[in-house]
Chains A and B, each alone.
Chain A
Amino acid sequence: MSVAADTIPAKPRRRLPGNVRIKAFAYLLVAPAILLICGLVAYPFLFAIWVSFTDMVVGSVGNFVGFKNFEYLAGTATFYSAIWNTIVIVLVSDVLKLGIGLGLALLVHQNLPGRGIFRSFLMLPWAMPAFVAFLTWRVLYQPIGGGINLILTQTGLYPEVVDFLGSRSTAMGSVIVASVWRGFPFWFISILAALQSVPKELYEAAIVDGASTWQRFWNVTIPSLMPVIIVTTLLSSIWTANGFEHVWLLTAGGPSDATMVFPVLAYYGMQTQRIGEAAAVSVYMLPVLGILVIFATSLMMRREE
């Protein structure tokens, strides 16, 4: 037996070509990450889209209803308020955050004493939990006992008590102020980092060419900051449009629908236990946010290259 076994030549193992094996091995290595992304991102994302086309309520899987949820939403006045309010909050917040972030970054970029402490101090609003920050703002806005009203009335700046959150004329502005306060540090730190990477030689060359301070700012600083400003604008727009707590904790979308935005509208959908409708609200936001995400991602990738 052993003789026979020794004499039978070993069957040659079929092996894949080297480059295929390497590719297969590479795919195998990234497979866990892909599975994770599919499980945690792709599946919930696609499931939410599917749910938006069903009449799912709590406790049932729901039936396919086509565009019924979308048609229903499009027939409500609150839906259009949410569109308008979301646009207003995003645009106004971004402009204010840009102005404040840029101004403070330029200030702190100067060689001032104690600027390290000042930088850290400016980051505090961002470091504070949103829940705490916006509840604090809610207290500040209170008509009776609220800090802002106390200052206004005690100093005689405005004798009447202002119902900042309860009045249509002031509610949106109040939400935006609180939102800007919490969000500007991200702009500040992004712009400050970009400022520090602007080559000094550019400024030196501009000075040699006789450029004024304004001309150096407009022709050197701003173009150098532009890529960061664009990316920050896109990211901030996405976060603000998706933001829930700043509106929910301050006004819950009211008074009337003066501050109603998409995430709050979706949450109300959840409260009515009609999950299909709530998902449809979110899906309505997808095209706009999707474009912003793709734009931001491509810009960031281009910058990395």
Chain B
Amino acid sequence: MTDSNPAKWSRRRVLATAASGVALAAATGLPMPAIAQSRKLTYWGGLIFSDDANKLLSDTITAWGAANGVETEVVMINQNETTQKVSAAVSSNTMPDAMDTGLGLLRLLGRQNVFSDVGELYKKIGDAQGGWFTGPDTATDLTADGGVARIGIPFGVNGNLLLRRKDLLEAAGFTEAPKTWDELKMQAEAVNKAPVSGLGLALSNVGDANLQVAILQSYGGRIADDAGKTVTLDTPETREWLAWVKDAWDKKLFPAGNTTWDGAGDNQAYLSGQAAFIANTGSVGIAAKKDDMELFEASAFSPLPGGPKGIVSPIDVQLRAITKASPLQAEAMALLEHLSSPEFMNAYFNVAIYGPVLADQEKLPAFDGTNTILVGLLGLAKNGTAPAYPDVNNAAFADFGSNFIIPKLAQRVVVDGWDFDRAIAEAQAQGQAIYDKY
């Protein structure tokens, strides 16, 4: 009687049932790759300084999805966190179907075979809109990396423009933008009076400070040889550039604190009226236009000055890419084509801080000359130099930049008081150690 009672729950049975329940719950709750869970097209957009641009991108993708019967999800990613998020997503197989990316990350992931070949779409868009500008076309051709040539569709060019306080400079007799770095220093010195510092350039361990690489190159200096293997910092040209930095430092042209600035240091210095010149992508102009129209109207944009060996004004290219693992390849291709349409891009350029990538985009109303920032970015798109030029744009160069070897070289001289030879020797050794890894 006792044994046959089915309602009797022994301790063993309770445990077995509980264990089964836990196992079942665990099994059903295991994270599955996002792309396997639904047919939703997920897009990771890169957050930029302009809320209007972010909203426009998100709304456009959503509207496109609704019109084409594709369920979409747009996730806007802080671009400072893209690397970490992508790293985790690749490891856990939860990459989005398509995403915005910078050129550096695209190249890196391209070597891991993460993105789809978009060569046909690239050609189609180029043919329809007057062809691609040479700068972005060359910069995004990954043939040299040994894989597929085109794994991203460029949508915007950015890079540094020179932003200056024309009200102060005109009062000091300078009506034209400086054409050379020496001229820039001379103009900066003329208006360098507290609380305004002449040169609002970062010399800290931050991406903005890598502008010094371009200045070094414009003086004829090179990071590495033509093979992209041997670091070549120990040259007279490097010393010439260092002399330029040291002289500006000794004349107290840099704002105090610029050796520890974060990425917003130069922005804040200019917007608070503490710098006469900064090199910036245009975000400061947008911020000034929004919050301080007086400052905006007192400002002017111009291309970066040149050195004895010409102008080095590297462009960076923003692209859209499709994840190879996505089951929605056709849909993602159609979306990227839609996002390259003149209608969308005209609206986007008006609120974003990117220059054009296609020849016909120059004719868009956005570039009619009324927006001085976009005029500057158009010039950058047409005349800017390829990333790393005249150096070889390889992984070692990117790693070299990420380790801020050139800003640190400048810091050794101006902060630590090292002589040029000692500072260059350290930078040369550190740089070579980086290049030797590749």
A, B: real partners = yes
A residues whose Cβ falls under 8 Å from a Cβ of B: 10, 28, 32, 57-61, 72, 75-77, 142-145, 161, 163, 165-168, 171, 250-258, 268, 270-275
Give the complex CA separation of A255 and B416 in angstroms.
Answer: 9
Q: Are A72 and B411 in touch, CB under 8 angstroms? A: no
Q: Which of B104-112, B295-303, B348-356, B379-387 contacts A (4 or more CB under 8 A)?
A: B104-112
- Please list 14 pairs of residues, one from A and one from B, whose beta carbons are closer than 8 Å in the complex, sorted by A's number: A58-B87, A59-B109, A59-B111, A60-B111, A61-B91, A76-B430, A144-B195, A166-B258, A168-B416, A252-B260, A256-B412, A271-B402, A272-B403, A273-B83
Docked-complex contact B114 and A165, CB < 8 angstroms:
no
With a CB–CB cut-off of 8 A, which chain B residues contact A76?
A: 430, 433
Please, which residue of chain A has its CB at the minimum distance from the CB of B430?
Answer: A76
8 nearest interchain CB pairs? Answer: A143-B256, A255-B259, A59-B112, A272-B402, A163-B256, A256-B411, A58-B87, A166-B257
B418 closest partner in A (C-beta): A256
Q: Is the interface of A mostly helix, strand, loop or mixed?
A: loop
Nearest CB of A to B250, in Å: 15
Q: Which residue of B lies closest to A171 (CB)?
A: B260
A76 to B404, CA, bound (A): 13
- Distance (Å) between the CB of A244 and the closest chain B CB? 14
B334 an interface residue at 8 Å Cβ cutoff?
A: no
Looking across the interface, which residue of chain A has its beta carbon closest to that of B112?
Answer: A59
Shortest distance in angstroms between B285's beta carbon and chain A's nearest beta carbon? 22
User: Which B residues touch A255, using CB under 8 A?
Assistant: 204, 259-260, 411, 415
CB atoms of B257 and A165 under 8 A apart = yes
Contacts of B437 in A (CB 8 A): 72
**B260 x A166 contact (CB < 8 A):** yes
A154 to chain B, nearest CB (A): 15
B274–A144 touching, CB < 8 Å = yes
Q: B63 at interface (Cβ–Cβ under 8 A)? A: no
Question: Cβ of B259 and Cβ of A59 under 8 Å apart?
Answer: no
A32–B408 alpha-carbon span in the complex (Å): 50
Output the nearest chain B residue to A65 by Cβ-Cβ distance.
B437
Whether the pair B108, A58 counts as a contact (CB closer than 8 A) is: yes
CB pair B415–A258 under 8 Å, yes or no, is yes
Query: Which residues on B sit within 8 Å (CB–CB) of A171?
Result: 260
Across-interface contacts of A145 in B (CB, < 8 A): 272
What's the minimum C-beta distance from B245 to chain A, rounded to whole angstroms? 14
Asked if A58 and B105 sit within 8 Å, CB to CB, the answer is yes
Interface set of B (CB-CB < 8 Å, partner A): 3, 15, 22, 83-84, 86-87, 90-91, 105, 108-109, 111-112, 114, 194-195, 204-206, 255-260, 262, 272, 274, 399, 402-403, 408, 411-412, 415-416, 426, 430, 433, 437
Q: How far is the CA of A297 from the CA of B2 in the complex (A)?
A: 52
- Is A252 in contact with B205, judged by CB distance below 8 angstroms? yes
Kindly state the separation between the CA atoms of A303 and B394 in the bound complex, as whole angstroms.
57
A251-B260, A256-B416 known; 11 new pairs, CB 8 Å cut-off, are A58-B86, A59-B109, A144-B195, A165-B260, A166-B258, A252-B260, A254-B259, A254-B415, A256-B408, A273-B87, A273-B108
Q: Which of chain A's residues have a CB closer than 8 A to the CB of B3?
A: 10
In the complex, how many residue pairs between chain A and chain B have their CB atoms under 8 Å apart?
98
Which of B258, B272, B402, B430 has its CB near the most chain A CB atoms (within 10 A)? B402
User: A32, A254, A272: which contacts B411 (Cβ < 8 A)?
Assistant: A254
Hey, which chain B residues are within 8 Å of A258, CB to CB?
415
A274, closest chain B residue (CB):
B399
Closest residue of chain A to B209, judged by CB?
A254
B260 close to A273 (CB less than 8 A):
no
A59–B205 touching, CB < 8 Å: no
How far in angstroms is the closest Cβ of chain A from B271? 13
Tell me the bound Cα distance from A256 to B415 in angstroms: 7
- Give the nearest-CB partner of B268 in chain A: A142
A257 and B408 contact, CB distance less than 8 A: yes
A257 to B433, CA, bound (A): 18
Complex Cα spacing A250 to B84, Å: 22
Is the beta-carbon distance between B108 and A57 smaller than 8 angstroms? yes
* Contact for B426 among A32, A60, A77, CB less than 8 A: A77
Least CB separation from A69: chain B residue? B437
Q: Please, which residues of chain B bring their CB within 8 A of the CB of A272? A: 399, 402-403
Which of B15, B108, B262 is the one whose CB lies under 8 Å from A252? B262
Is the beta-carbon distance between A72 and B204 smaller than 8 angstroms?
Answer: no
Q: Is the CB of B87 within 8 A of A59?
A: yes
- A270 B257 Cβ-Cβ under 8 A: no
Closest chain B CB from A281 CB (angstroms): 13
User: Closest A-chain residue to B400, C-beta based?
Assistant: A272
Q: A268-B403, A273-B108 are in contact. Are A142 and B415 (CB under 8 A)?
A: no
Say how far A282's CB is from chain B's closest CB, in angstroms.
15
> What residue in chain B is nearest A149 (Cβ atoms)?
B256
Residues of B within 8 A of A144 (CB): 194-195, 255-256, 274
Report whether A167 and B415 are in contact in the complex, using a CB–CB cutoff of 8 Å: yes
Give every chain B residue within 8 A of A72 (Cβ-Cβ).
Answer: 433, 437
B423 smallest CB distance to A (angstroms): 10
Q: Which residues from chain B contact A250 at a C-beta distance below 8 Å? A: 260
**Residues of the A chain whose Cβ atoms lie less than 8 Å from the Cβ of B415:** 166-168, 254-256, 258
Which residues of chain B are near A58, meaning CB under 8 Å? 83, 86-87, 90, 105, 108-109
Whether A59 pairs with B108 at a CB distance below 8 angstroms is yes
- A275's closest neighbor in chain B, by CB? B87
Residues of B within 8 A of A252 (CB): 204-206, 260, 262
A77-B426, A166-B257, A252-B260 known; A59 and B90 CB under 8 Å? yes
In the complex, which residue of chain B has the Cβ closest to the Cβ of A168?
A: B415
Q: Which B-chain residue is minimally distant from A15 (CB atoms)?
A: B12
**A60-B112, A255-B411 known; A143 vs B90 contact (CB < 8 Å):** no
When the two chains form the complex, which single residue of B84, B114, B426 contacts A270, counting CB atoms closer than 8 Å? B84
Contact A271 B83 (CB under 8 A): yes
**Residues in A neighbouring B256, C-beta threshold 8 A:** 143-144, 161, 163, 166
Q: Give the docked Cα–Cα distance between A163 and B259 (Å).
A: 10
